[in-house]
């Protein structure tokens, strides 16, 4: 009896293992999984923290938790059967193993670095988009979908943000490629027009952003407008390289046929893609009497036309804020959880786009 009592091990605290990131955390007190993660500096996706939004949804693989809310408000019947829980409403009662693909291990995050380079190519892709290719002095690493801050030493100090426009296939790159949209009167545009030529010195700071493909089996819905093509193209090239077996529907919004570009690249991806791949340009201002056979109107109309198929999609979008805002609303109304809607707004990338007047 006494021996048994003496042998009793000291009380241990539950431990959380987060896969696939491979993060291990000790739970303090009666904290939830989300609280534990956030307090220990792990970027666990969340929004409302009261079990209302589903952003912290994850799969309980092993262990027991106490749940603080009726999760049937948030999770589908299948998800509940498969053992999904809400991170913000789950207090570990034992060691737990959870699957949370959106949690990134710190070691995975590539440190941001500055790299110099020279312009290696300037190519017009359509009437207002230029492909800027830069030969770098040193390598950069990024995930397809992320972006770089580009500046021109001595000429343009204020960096512009551009998404990498090609997949790196997991390798460090000594070449970077961007799509630059020309704007009459824009400082960068003027410089590209008047001064820039191959050999000009530029500087990159990368990688930035959390826009990249998350692992899943769900079908993919891509939406882009203008030079928003760049990160989507990179994402899809990377996925094609990894031989992803997921259906893709890609709506590309433009005004007229003259705004379309990268069509050959899309054909290349489609030829390589293992599942269904549909690239669908949608024109909003194409003259009614033109030879255009494709879709017309706004991308949002055609997103909602997906109907019941919409709810299953995982969404990747990049483009002008008005278009994205509208598309996000349509996707949410279609039943897509906000945690499955990933976007990169042009506005996000530059923190210098507005002036305060007061």
Partner 1 sequence: MIKYMRYFTLSILMSTAVFTMMLGGYWMLFAGAAGVLIGLGLDNVIGDDLDDPKYTHTWILNVQLFSTLPLLLALTLAFAWQLSSWDFLGLGAAFQFVAGIDPFALRAENQWYHYVMGIFSVGMMFGVAGTNVGHELTHRTWSKPALIVGRWLMAFTSDASFSIEHVYGHHKNIATRHDPATSRRGENVYGFALRSTIGSYRSAWNIEKERLAKFGYSVWGWRSQMMRGNAMTLTYFAAFAYAAGWLGVLVFAVLTVYGKLYLEFVNFVEHYGMVRVTGAPVEPRHSWNCNKRISGILLYNLTRHSHHHAMGEKPFWELRAYPDTPMMPAGYLSMIILALIPPLWNKIMIPRVQDWDRRFAKVEELALIQEANAASGMADSFELKQDEYANGQAVVA
Q: Where on the chain is the footprint of partner 1 (CB under 8 A)?
A: 32, 35, 46-53, 55, 66-70, 72-74, 76-77, 80, 88-89, 160-162, 180-181, 183, 185-189, 225-227, 255, 319-323, 325, 328-329, 332, 338-339, 341, 345-351, 353-358
Q: Which is nearer to partner 1, 240 or 254 (CB)?
A: 254
- Shortest CA distance to 237 belongs to which of 171, 291, 149? 171
Give residue 121's region: left, alpha or beta (phi > 0; psi -120 to 50).
beta
Give every CB contact of residue 20 below 8 A, 6+ residues apart in sequence: 99, 101, 215
Residues paired with 140 in a beta bridge:
173
Length of the chain: 358
Pair 231, 324: CB distance under 8 Å? no
Pair 174, 118: CB distance under 8 Å? no
Is-cis flag, bond preceding 179, omega within 30? no
Q: What are phi and psi of 144, to 5 degrees?
A: -55, 125
How far is it, in rounded angstroms, from Cα 4 to Cα 172? 58
Pairing label, strands 15-19, 23-26? antiparallel
Please give the C-alpha separations between residue 200 and each of 5, 190, 196, in angstroms, as whole numbers.
77, 15, 6
For residue 347, the minimal CB distance to partner 1 (Å) is 6
Where is 301: in which H helix or E strand?
A: helix 299-304
Q: Which is nearer to partner 1, 172 or 321 (CB)?
A: 321
Q: Which is nearer to partner 1, 69 or 126 (CB)?
A: 69
Our CA angle for 213, 219, 225, nearest 5°, is 65
For residue 52, the minimal CB distance to partner 1 (Å) is 4
For residue 329, the minimal CB distance to partner 1 (Å) is 8
Q: Which is nearer to partner 1, 2 or 157 (CB)?
A: 157
What is the end-to-end Cα distance of the chain in Å, rounded? 77
- Shortest CA distance to 313 belongs to which of 250, 238, 226, 259? 250
For residue 164, the minimal CB distance to partner 1 (Å) is 14
């Amino acid at each position: 009896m006494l021996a048994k009592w003496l042998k009793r091990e000291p009380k241990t605290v539950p431990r959380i293992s987060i896969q696939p990131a491979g993060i291990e955390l000790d739970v303090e007190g009666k904290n939830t999984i989300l609280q534990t993660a956030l307090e220990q500096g792990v970027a666990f996706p969340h929004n409302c923290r009261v079990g209302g939004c589903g952003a912290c949804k994850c799969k309980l693989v092993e262990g027991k938790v106490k749940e603080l809310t009726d999760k049937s408000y948030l999770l589908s019947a299948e998800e509940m059967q498969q053992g999904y829980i809400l991170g913000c409403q789950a207090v570990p009662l034992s060691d737990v193993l959870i699957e949370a693909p959106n949690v990134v291990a710190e070691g995975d995050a590539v440190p941001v670095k500055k790299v110099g380079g020279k312009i290696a190519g300037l190519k017009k892709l359509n009437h207002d988009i230029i492909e800027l290719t830069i030969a770098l002095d040193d390598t950069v690493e990024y995930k397809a979908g992320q972006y770089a801050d580009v500046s021109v030493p001595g000429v343009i100090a204020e960096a512009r943000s551009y998404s990498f426009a090609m997949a790196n296939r997991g390798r460090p790159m000594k070449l970077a490629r961007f799509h630059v949209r020309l704007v009459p009167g824009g400082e960068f545009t003027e410089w590209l027009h008047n001064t820039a030529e191959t050999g000009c010195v530029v500087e990159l700071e990368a990688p930035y952003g959390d826009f990249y493909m998350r692992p899943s089996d769900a079908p993919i819905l891509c939406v882009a407008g203008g030079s928003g093509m760049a990160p989507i193209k990179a994402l899809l090239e990377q996925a094609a390289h990894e031989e992803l077996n997921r259906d893709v529907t890609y709506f590309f919004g433009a005004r007229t046929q003259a705004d379309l570009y990268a069509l050959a690249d899309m054909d290349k991806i489609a030829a390589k893609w293992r599942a269904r791949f549909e690239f669908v340009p949608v024109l909003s201002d194409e003259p009614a009497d033109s030879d255009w056979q494709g879709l017309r109107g706004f991308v949002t109309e055609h997103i909602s036309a997906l109907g019941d198929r919409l709810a299953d999609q995982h969404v990747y979008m990049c483009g002008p804020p008005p278009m994205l805002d509208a598309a996000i609303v349509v996707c949410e109304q279609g039943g897509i959880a906000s945690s499955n809607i990933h976007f990169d707004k042009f506005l996000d990338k530059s923190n210098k786009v507005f002036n305060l007047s007061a």
